[in-house]
Amino acid sequence: MTHSPVHKAKHHLAGQTLTGAEAVVQILADEGVSVIFGYSGGAILPTYDAIFRFNQETSNKMPLIVPANEQGAGFMAAGYARASGKVGVALVTSGPGATNCVTPVRDCMADSIPIVLICGQVPAAAMGSDAFQEAPVSNIFGACAKHVFLITDPQRLEATLRTAFEIARSGRPGPVVVDIPKDVQNATTPFMGHGVLPIPGFRARQQSLEQNRLGPEQCERFFEMLSRARKPLLYCGGGVIHAEASQALRTFAQTFRIPVVTTLMGIGAYDTTDPLSLRMLGMHGTAFANYAVEDCDFLIAVGARFDDRVAGVPSRFACNAKFIAHFDVDSAEINKVKRVQWHHLGLLREALQDLHAFGVQQEFKRDFSAWHQHVAELKKAHAMNYDRQSPLIQPYEIIEEINKLTHGDAIISTGVGQHQMWAAQYFDFKRPRLWLTSGSMGTMGFGLPAAIGAAFACPGKTVIDVDGDASIRMNLGELETVTTYDLPVKVVVLNNFGDGMVRQWQKLFFKGRLSASDKSLHKKNFVKSAEADGFSWARRLDRKADIARTIGEFIAFQGPSFLEVIIDPDAGVYPMVGPGMSYAEMITGDFIPSRGTPTAATVNKSEMF
């Protein structure tokens, strides 16, 4: 959907006099908002009161979920949006309430996630006077949101808020911030029940995207390249998921028998258990995916942007590809990092459907059996593996055990660090919107609040936060939010007593100097913390012999459950492609065979991550 819902019939409140706060709540209801995440404060109290009254009158149709802090609210809205495909909503007060949401907003912008953040603001007459809990929201968020609105005219509130939803969900999705002074919330005006702002340039670009369908000449050129290829490869990013194009991608890949790799954000766009799947590529992608990228002669990028975690050194990325094709909705991404021979700027689902229809009509057939055999050999020779004989618990085996019980159908949320990459590498994902992680921003503390948002978006689904000891501490207060709302969220903390990813880099490239990354002297008891926050099932797992039994109980428990696992502190994330390295120089560790002889010394040590 690209535009706000069209109300063909006259709105039942049209012509009635409402306060700005009441109008805000009614518009949220009209936009289909089913839950709001937020923290109260003086500048937003009129809207909070309006929500309370609305829910009394409608039997709690739009519950307001209170986190431990506003950052949690922002990530809950993001988790809701990622899991549902709908616009998430956070509602916070002015000043620190707003500034605590800067990180979630930037995180959503970086990963193209649609949320609307509504901030209270001091009265318009007090703005600029350093009033109590005043912050320059427009200035602060202008650099990190898709758009920011400051509403000073009560009569423009309706149109502005509807337009905010339109912008958030349209084209390349993103976060929109709406700053509403307290006097605008209290002002009374007739409710129109319809209308959006005149933003002709934006809508013209959206219309251009929607109308730009693939024509016969473009399709013919694409299939001409495919006919000359012997080793085609689909490289798919988060744009496939945002565009609801996963089914179209699967149909296209399976019809023409083209293997698929995905980015971190594209996980789930293609069923990881399907034979054509090579799982994730990139810095910590599977070795066989990265080698396939090296070997392919036609790379087809769909909703992916050749970012630094994937392309690394652009001139050496997909170095044997004679042709590169690129599908995207954002013109800024075309030829930004890697020059391509063919591109299409338009809606991804429709483009894949049009291309598929043309190929079927033309009875296009190409024998890629030799390529499939090569790919199968890559998957066998360079399979993911680890030290299975170690007496210490390996994080990989924990994920494998959980995966056996969830069968690729669970929603997996993560923090950021080693545990994030292990989850991406070892979990299966049969469908889109099962994988929730902070990709481009890499925000520690994301996992737990995002899982809470997903639990509200998808009631009845198994939701698991796979977290690290350092990452979960960032938003540990949200454990209480889980139990307060009795959410069946499962939290597993892979505890290696420190910042594992930082420590891995320090061991590899900084001669083992563990500067501020070794937290083994900290005495945090996560199980007691979980129990104190109301988890009736909270356990610590520190013996290999107990893995199957404990994880079975953890998954089977019906309510909120918490599991701390003491893992091998030296477990690393492999494969690994360091900055300045090509895939040929990938470090695969001791248990994944490499077809080269990479050396850590080739990494530019000044580029930490």
Cα distances (angstroms) measured from residue 389 to each of 385, 394, 397, 419? 12, 10, 11, 20
- Those residues whose C-beta lies under 8 Å from the C-beta of residue 511, and which sit 6 or more positions away, are none
The helix, strand and coil proportions of the chain, stated in percent and rounded to the nearest 5, come to 40, 15, 45
Q: Partners of 325 in the beta sheet?
A: 300, 342
Set 127, 280, 501, 586: catalytic member: 501
379 catalytically annotated: no
Q: Rounded to an integer, what distance in angstroms lies between the CA atom of residue 295 and that of residue 99? A: 47
441 catalytically annotated: no
Is the C-alpha dihedral spanning 10, 14, 15, 16 positive or negative?
positive
Q: Rounded to an integer, what distance in angstroms lies between the CA atom of residue 26 and that of residue 191? A: 10
Q: What is the DSSP string of 353-388?
A: HHHHHHHHHTT-----HHHHHHHHHHHHHT-----T
Set 1, 10, 132, 404: catalytic member: 132
Contact 98, 137 (CB under 8 A): yes
φ, ψ for residue 574, nearest 5 deg: -135, 145
368 catalytically annotated: no
Q: Rounded to an integer, what distance in angstroms lies between the CA atom of residue 445 and that of residue 463? A: 16
Set 75, 149, 182, 368: catalytic member: 182
132 catalytically annotated: yes
For the record, the structure tokens of 210 come out as: 């929607």
Set 22, 70, 134, 333: catalytic member: 70
Distance of CA 247 to the CA centre of its chain: 19
Q: Where are the alpha helices (DSSP H) in 147-215?
A: 157-169, 182-186, 200-211
Set 62, 86, 133, 557: catalytic member: 133
182 catalytically annotated: yes
Dihedral angle of Cα 367, 370, 375, 376, to the nearest 10 degrees: 110
What positions carry a catalytic annotation?
70, 132-133, 182, 501
